[in-house]
A and B are shown apart, each in its own frame.
Chain A
Amino acid sequence: MFETLFGMVKEEWRIHSSLFGNFLFASFPLIILAFSFLLSFYTLNNIITLNKLLLIYHCIFILVGLSVGAFGILGREAMNRRFGHASLIAFSSRTLPLSEKFIFLNFFIKDLIYYFILWILPFVAGAYIAFTIKNVYVNFFVIIASIFMSFLASLSFSFFLSTIYIYSKKLVIAVIFSIILLSKYVFHYIEMLPSISFMLKPSLENLIYSLLISCLLSLTSVNLLKVDYAENKKRYKNMVISLEKFLRFSRYKDFIAKDFIDLNRSEGGLAKLIFSLILPTILIWFILSLNFIPFADFLIVFAIMLGAISSSTYNWITEFDVFSSYSFLPIKVSSIIKSKIATYSIINSLCFIILFIASIKAGLSNLIPSLMAFASVSSYVLAMNIYLTGLHPNILLYNSKILIQYLLLTSPILLILMFSSKSILFYFFVLAVLAIAYLIIKKSLEKWDKEEIVF
């Protein structure tokens, strides 16, 4: 058991450190620590109370857990994407007497260790340092344990749902719609979540409840998990032709068609969007409804956050293939990036519908500025993502140097738009950000055409 787990941990470290060097990868948690410190230091008591801030931190890690937890849907793809197709421990069930379930359990535990070390521990440490400097007493161990349990619970829940999805898509869609419909009540009682209860009133009972629920969901999921290997030679009709006709308005119709085929045929299909876009959107709505940014317009801030979250779509659509699939064809890197931008835009048009629905609840008067804010942020974050990572956001954002640049170049823009949301300058900023995004994308295309692809 432990040999496999240690092997996987070492393997993941070496994969990342071989790409960026030990120092850059090892300094990734320091960036998280610094980010959390600054966030906590400037918001606590100036903008928000301690309890609300901690609740938001829980929500952030619930969000991370939901996204990471879609293992069941990703199945083998998750391992492929994270590790490539090299001969890795994750594939040992093919050659060694180890079951897929055993390997996947180790993979799950390894990811828990990794997310704890790379994200949770530095994030909580940064916040704790800020609290201490501000003379606000919190118990470090209670905070870190409760946030870890929130992460574990959401990860297990998402893992469970995504595993069930393989068996019954209808059931999972019904559950998700129920959550959406009941979200108001679900969030109203979020403090009853054992991990958050544990933070508010540390007790052995809450600790046990929280761990028990997570373990039960995770173990059931591991037990039900389907890892699909190539023996399943399903036949498909040629969809490229029909999709090309439908997408004839774009000069990248072949590539967009390919992206949609990838999205549809990969394990979990379009449900990935539910886990990476819809569920996080609901959570953001809840976080914002805590009303901790009184100086900003609710719907516009929601649109800005949605724009930032929706940029994760770019990570999805760049994960299905590698440039080596194209490098021997007469096609430039910039053309592939342009086609990904087109796919990204089509998928993200879904967010306009989300914003329209949100505006019915929050007030139609701000629909237009919120749509503008969304378009501007979504384009800008995408532009930064492309400029810094090209076709490899999922690898390069783990490079601490690139992550710092990404955070420094995106966070201030989001803050400026939020702070100006009630001022007349907002429209100027929105248009300026859109123009900057356009220029950055243009520059990025030139940059990546000159770069040598090494992945």
Chain B
Amino acid sequence: MIDIVISANNLTKKFGNFIAVNNLSLEIKKGELFGLLGPNGSGKTTTIKMMTGQLKPTSGSVDVLGVDAIAQPIRVREIVGIIPEQESPPSFLTAEEYLHFVAKIRKLDNIEEKCDYWFDFLEFEDQRQILCKDLSRGTRQKLMFAQAFLHEPKLAFIDEPLINLDPIIQRKVKDYLLGYVKKGGTIFFSTHVLEIAEEICTQIAIIDKGKLLYQGRIKDLKKKRQTLENFFLKLVKE
């Protein structure tokens, strides 16, 4: 049996007269590393926010791990991990205090152990006592990555996750994500960096101006000897 972990039907979000997402329907199966691609302002972040109950759709429905994200937004955020587009941990907590704070909100046990693992894995142990506001953008992104996976969710939504990380940590994170989906986890990943999507995603969707232009498997593109970049540019320019 194939598990559908995300099912979005005719999702639409309007801000006044502006349509950020227009009738978007997607189905994502368990174990996918799904990339939502699109130019800046195409509606990727709005889509993630609707799927995780941070924004209410103007119309349409979305189920995440069998939970209605519109009716039970808090429940959805309990069971998934989310890395927001802009890393915004509270300013005056240290990195360590922030992870501790998130762990408490998520009612986790063995907090120290879990925090230690992430400081060690993402190599920012020496930054744990620094205030979040004083961390570099890359370190803040590591911190946000750690908070999203602290409770070992089955599904994680990641908005532009690798943009500020150095190549060494980028490699580590990519390997982690690949291992994570191999173990049965699912990643919903939004980016406009096509090389990253081409390298790690199993399936992609391309949106522009809030509309879904394409959904398919990366290996199908490769079979057609198309690079993702050419395919994307052709599709978006049309």
Binding site for B on A (CB under 8 A): 230, 232-241, 244, 254, 258, 261-262, 265-266, 320-322, 324-325, 327-332, 452
Answer yes or no: B24 CB below 8 A from chain A CBs.
no
Report 11 cross-chain contacts, Cβ distance below 8 Å, ordered by A residue: A235-B94, A236-B97, A236-B130, A258-B101, A262-B93, A265-B92, A265-B131, A320-B91, A328-B82, A328-B84, A331-B105
Does B74 belong to the interface (CB within 8 Å)? yes
Interface centre among B83, B94, B129 (most CB of A within 10 A): B94
Proximity string of chain B (80-97) to chain A, C-beta cutoff 8 Å, 1 when within and 0 when not:
001110101111111011
- A262 adjacent to B90 (CB under 8 Å): yes
Whole-angstrom distance between the alpha carbons of A325 and B129 in the complex? 19
A238 and B97: CB pair below 8 A?
Answer: yes
Query: Known contacts A238-B96, A328-B77; is A232 also within 8 Å of B82 by CB?
Result: no
Instruction: Give A323 Cβ to nearest chain B Cβ, in Å.
Output: 10
Pick from A236, A322, A327, A330 the residue with the most CB of B within 10 Å: A330
Across-interface contacts of B54 in A (CB, < 8 A):
327-328
Q: Is B102 in the interface zone, CB < 8 Å from A?
A: yes
Contact between B88 and A330 (Cβ–Cβ < 8 Å)? no
- Given contacts A238-B100, A324-B86, A328-B84, 11 further A-B pairs with CB under 8 A are A230-B133, A254-B104, A254-B105, A258-B93, A262-B91, A265-B131, A328-B83, A330-B75, A331-B74, A331-B77, A331-B105
B129 touches A266 (CB 8 A): no
* Beta-carbon contacts under 8 Å, B96-125 to A: 96-97, 100-102, 104-106
Cross-interface CB contact of B129 among A230, A235, A327, cutoff 8 Å = A235
Name A240's contact: one of B52, B77, B89, B101 (CB within 8 Å). B101
B177 contacts A by Cβ under 8 Å: no
How far, in whole Å, are A381 and B124 apart by their CA atoms in the complex?
Answer: 45
B90 & A258 in contact (Cβ 8 Å cutoff): yes
Q: Which residues of B contact A332 (CB under 8 A)?
A: 74
Which of the four size classes fits the interface of chain B? 20 to 34
CB pair A324 B134 closer than 8 Å: no
CB < 8 Å neighbour of A322 from B88, B97, B102, B106 = B88
Residue from A254, A320, A332 with most neighbouring chain B CB atoms (10 Å): A254
What does DSSP make chain A's interface, helix, strand, loop or mixed? loop
B55: CB under 8 A from chain A? Answer: yes
B56 contacts A by Cβ under 8 Å: yes
Nearest 8 interchain pairs by C-beta:
A328-B82, A235-B129, A330-B78, A330-B77, A265-B92, A262-B92, A254-B104, A240-B97
Q: Which of chain B's residues have a CB closer than 8 A to the CB of A237?
A: 129
From the candidates A238, A325, A327, name the one contacting B90 in the complex (CB within 8 A). Answer: A325
A261 in contact with B129 (CB, 8 Å): no
Residues in B with CB closer than 8 Å to A320 are 90-92
Chain A residue with the shortest CB-CB distance to B81: A328
Closest chain B residue, CB of each to CB of A332: B74
Using a CB–CB cutoff of 8 Å, the interface residues on chain B facing chain A are 52, 54-56, 74-75, 77-78, 82-84, 86, 88-94, 96-97, 100-102, 104-106, 129-131, 133-134
Question: Whose C-beta in chain B lies nearest to the C-beta of A262?
Answer: B92
Most buried by B among A232, A262, A327, A328: A328
Which B-chain residue is minimally distant from A235 (CB atoms)? B129
Are the CB atoms of A240 and B130 closer together than 8 Å? no
The contact of A330 among B74, B84, B100, by CB within 8 Å, is B74
Contact across chains for A321 and B91 when beta carbons are under 8 A apart: yes
Closest chain B residue to A324, Cβ basis: B88
* Chain B nearest CB, measured from A251 CB (Å): 11
CA distance A275 to B218 in the complex (A): 60
Taking CB atoms, residues of chain A closer than 8 Å to B74 are: 330-332
Q: Are B94 and A452 in contact, with the CB atoms below 8 A?
A: no
Task: Tell me whether A452 and B90 are in contact in the complex, defined as CB-CB below 8 angstroms, given that A233-B134, A258-B101, A330-B77 are known contacts.
Answer: no
Decide: B134 and A230 in contact? CB cutoff 8 A.
yes
- Give the residue name and chain of the A residue nearest to B79 (CB): A330
With the chains together, A328 CA to B55 CA distance in Å? 11
Interface centre among B52, B97, B106 (most CB of A within 10 A): B97
List, in ascending order, chain A residues with CB within 8 A of B105's CB: 254, 329-331
> Given A230-B134, A328-B84, A330-B105, does the pair A240, B93 have CB atoms closer than 8 Å?
yes
Q: Which residues of A contact B134 (CB under 8 A)?
A: 230, 232-234
- Contact between A235 and B90 (Cβ–Cβ < 8 Å)? no
Which of A236, A244, A322 gathers most chain B CB within 10 Å? Answer: A236
Residues of chain B within 8 A of A265, CB atoms compared:
92, 131
CA distance A240 to B131 in the complex (A): 13
A237 CA / B74 CA spacing, docked (Å):
31
Q: Min CB distance, B53 to chain A, in Å?
A: 9
Give the residue name and chain of the A residue nearest to B129 (CB): A235
**A319 CB to nearest chain B CB (Å):** 11
Report Cα–Cα, A141/B185, bound state, in Å.
Answer: 72
A237 to B131, CA, bound (A): 10
Which residues of A are found within 8 Å of B94, using beta-carbon distances? 235-236, 238
Question: Do residues A236 and B131 form an inter-chain contact, with CB atoms below 8 A?
Answer: yes
Q: Which residue of B lies closest to A243 (CB)?
A: B97
Query: Which residues of A lie under 8 Å from residue B52 when comparing CB positions?
Result: 328
* CB pair A452 B55 closer than 8 Å: yes
Q: A233 vs B83: C-alpha distance in the bound complex, in angstroms?
A: 25
